[in-house]
A = this chain, B = another copy of it.
């Protein structure tokens, strides 16, 4: 691949997955862009007639079913066109077709249905200039202008509005009046509201819900994000809870430096192999080159263990249990994603040394239980406890235990947190020994290597929580972790209200707040005069506050507060004298209901499968799949290979068209279903006997993150399209992330 001028040349691609892969190899692409897709349909036509093909040009993420396209194009019963038909009409093979294939000369033989989202797209849009081995990036405006100039029949349609043909005209008008809408002068209006549907564009929704919900902001350095107080306070709650648990176990906190010398970093071969490509190196200080580059820790095993060797002198120093709350750096070159995969992230890492494997094992499981507790008790997120397969375990460790979650919207599993037993591998590498205390008096005391564990929980938990509970109104925070779990909004005050009435109301609200605070509720009173109650409702719903209390003249008269649950939207009343008791109880109900809902979604999507033929369809149905498995690495590789979805050819159903990684094992659940008979039950994939039920799923995580600073001059079909991204200039850079 190569980048020549403004048109980027790469390997020919057959589908968007390959396209994406090719683009990722190209340095210096725009920081943010979206992929487009072009589908060509042929309406049912009498054989004597030449069919006018319908070119549907849409954002990759838009669902463009043939029936909707047909209705919009005012055609009967359209089907995906054959290669022959496409080549005959447009002169190119299907993989090369795009909106840019439409020219003045072929405009009469086609019509174009243009996705409204394309016309509204703020990012650059990647398009093939009639060649699948080439990409240009254009603004929505330029694409529309280009198409209009060809003279082709052009219909703009809002596919998200459903399948009613009539909507297309309405939506087309909408486009015309779009610009001023965004210029709304109402203060704060631009901030309010999620305008991306969680089900239809999960990555776009995730980005919006995090930024508009005030959880984080994008940062000047790629792959790094700012944790704003609204998310950081959740992390603080988690820290406090987990820290008290481990301290009760006898773990002590400490702080090791963030820098590691290369010599120490590379001491353990298997371990470092897993991290080496992502290690960030400091090579300069001020204007001076350092004699030896110094790494920033990707994790602290090799940072800490040389000192364990020094500090542990006798079995009486065991167990040694240290933990630190810190940040680590893993410089991933692709796919960063807020909370889930970032170049710097916050976590805790515990590192302990034990005399016996039993002592180490007991701790590994105890910690895993606390990790499950963070998810289940604090974040209302159900998780499955289990062990990782050999293939997926921590590099250099003995075995890894894990809590695994499930994202209903994507139907993918997600790793929650892991607790590793390192066995004696590191202690042998670093020489961490004690004299054998079981040696008899007078016998030579042989050195024995200690047993070690390491365990870590990161801010990714916040991302998982957001993905599971959030909805199209914004965040939904579980009461136990929300910075404020109740917001009180004064209502019913208007221009006719006297200052006295207003003050009386505020005073009553202050009293309610005080009562609740005494009952342990974290209350926010939103007294801002400049915003309407409706604006405030939306604002706090966006931020996910679990419970809203409304209080106005009506409530004052009836001596109650009106309650509105964020999770269900259900409104109710609580008499003022009962608030100290009933509000905390309601918060606990919300907490439980959130968990129950997520738990149902998870449980109903764990599919037990014993026949391979049911495996991929089950994955495609948004399930994680339990199969009897031989637990061999070879078989696991094969499952990944066999379950990858590689094509988006004409016959693939539209909704299964997104490219997918193959399935990988998530865990071997501790809680094993019955049904496996040793030496009898076969592995679902191979001829070996099954060892255990093993949970498989497709991976969550697929993201773009590139630079957005290109001005392009693109020659397509003899036309010069000058592109200068004003937005890019104005805003410096933006990031767009896409998750599969």
A153 to chain B, nearest CB (A): 43
Residues of B within 8 A of A293 (CB): 284
Report, as a range, how many residues of chain A touch the other chain: 35 or more
CB contact between A333 and one of B217, B219, B285 (< 8 Å): that residue: B285
Task: Check A307 for interface membership: any CB of B closer than 8 A.
Answer: yes
**In whole angstroms, what is the CA distance A294 to B344 when docked?**
13
Q: Which of A249-257, A486-494, A629-637 contacts the other chain?
A: A249-257
The closest CB in chain B to the CB of A327 belongs to B258
CB contact between A225 and one of B224, B257, B258, B285 (< 8 Å): that residue: B257
CB contact between A331 and one of B220, B286, B528 (< 8 Å): that residue: B286
Residues of B within 8 A of A294 (CB): 221
CB-based contact B227/A255 at 8 Å: yes
CB contact between A344 and one of B228, B258, B310, B329 (< 8 Å): that residue: B258
The copy count of this chain in the complex is 2
A169-207 contact mask (Cβ, 8 Å, vs B): 1 or 0: 000000000000000000100000000000000000000
CB contact between A283 and one of B221, B224, B281, B346 (< 8 Å): that residue: B281
CB contact between A226 and one of B232, B256, B277 (< 8 Å): that residue: B256
CB-based contact B285/A346 at 8 Å: no
The closest CB in chain B to the CB of A293 belongs to B284
CB-based contact B257/A236 at 8 Å: no
The closest CB in chain B to the CB of A187 belongs to B314
A271-290 contact mask (Cβ, 8 Å, vs B): 1 or 0: 00000111111111111100
CB-based contact B280/A284 at 8 Å: yes
A322 to chain B, nearest CB (A): 7
CB-based contact B285/A331 at 8 Å: yes
Q: Which of A235, A255, A284, A333 has the most CB of B within 10 A?
A: A255
CB-based contact A259/B344 at 8 Å: yes
CB-based contact B282/A224 at 8 Å: no
Task: Check A663 for interface membership: any CB of B closer than 8 A.
Answer: no
Task: Check A306 for interface membership: any CB of B closer than 8 A.
Answer: yes
Task: Check A260 for interface membership: any CB of B closer than 8 A.
Answer: yes
**In whole angstroms, what is the CA distance A229 to B343 when docked?**
28
Q: A51-102: which residues lie under 8 A (CB-CB) from chain B?
A: none
**In whole angstroms, what is the CA distance A287 to B293 when docked?**
12
Residues of B within 8 A of A296 (CB): 282, 296
CB contact between A286 and one of B224, B226, B276 (< 8 Å): that residue: B276
A312-336 contact mask (Cβ, 8 Å, vs B): 1 or 0: 0010100000100011010101000
CB-based contact A252/B229 at 8 Å: yes
A273 to chain B, nearest CB (A): 12
The closest CB in chain B to the CB of A310 belongs to B217
Task: Check A264 for interface membership: any CB of B closer than 8 A.
Answer: yes
Task: Check A472 for interface membership: any CB of B closer than 8 A.
Answer: no
Task: Check A530 for interface membership: any CB of B closer than 8 A.
Answer: yes
CB-based contact A221/B261 at 8 Å: yes
CB-based contact A220/B261 at 8 Å: yes
Q: Which of A225, A331, A344 has the most CB of B within 10 A?
A: A331
A270 to chain B, nearest CB (A): 17
Q: Which of A232, A285, A316 has the most CB of B within 10 A?
A: A285
Residues of B within 8 A of A229 (CB): 252-254, 322
CB-based contact A226/B255 at 8 Å: yes
A66 to chain B, nearest CB (A): 44
A132 to chain B, nearest CB (A): 28
Q: A340-355: which residues lie under 8 A (CB-CB) from chain B?
A: 343-344, 346
A318 to chain B, nearest CB (A): 13
A444 to chain B, nearest CB (A): 16
A719 to chain B, nearest CB (A): 32
Residues of B within 8 A of A701 (CB): none
**In whole angstroms, what is the CA distance A259 to B222 when docked?**
10
CB-based contact B232/A254 at 8 Å: yes
A232 to chain B, nearest CB (A): 5
A706 to chain B, nearest CB (A): 12
Residues of B within 8 A of A167 (CB): none
The closest CB in chain B to the CB of A282 belongs to B280
Residues of B within 8 A of A333 (CB): 285-286, 288
Task: Check A725 for interface membership: any CB of B closer than 8 A.
Answer: no
Residues of B within 8 A of A310 (CB): 217
The closest CB in chain B to the CB of A283 belongs to B283
Residues of B within 8 A of A306 (CB): 220
CB-based contact A260/B316 at 8 Å: no
Q: A486-508: which residues lie under 8 A (CB-CB) from chain B?
A: none
* With A226-B256, A254-B226 as contacts: A279 and B283 at CB distance below 8 Å: no
A271 to chain B, nearest CB (A): 15
CB-based contact B257/A226 at 8 Å: yes
CB contact between A281 and one of B260, B282, B307 (< 8 Å): that residue: B282
**In whole angstroms, what is the CA distance A232 to B322 when docked?**
11
Task: Check A562 for interface membership: any CB of B closer than 8 A.
Answer: no
Q: Which of A253, A286, A296 has the most CB of B within 10 A?
A: A286
Besides the contacts A227-B256, A232-B252, A232-B254, what 7 more A-B pairs have beta carbons closer than 8 Å?
A: A220-B264, A227-B254, A257-B344, A277-B286, A279-B285, A296-B296, A316-B530
Kindly list the 4 A-B residue pairs having the minimum CB-CB distance in the complex, ordered from nearest: A229-B252, A285-B331, A224-B257, A277-B286
26 contacts between A and B (CB under 8 A): A217-B310, A217-B311, A219-B256, A219-B257, A220-B306, A221-B260, A226-B257, A227-B254, A227-B256, A228-B254, A229-B322, A232-B254, A233-B252, A235-B255, A257-B344, A258-B329, A258-B344, A259-B343, A276-B286, A277-B286, A282-B283, A282-B296, A286-B331, A286-B333, A288-B333, A316-B530
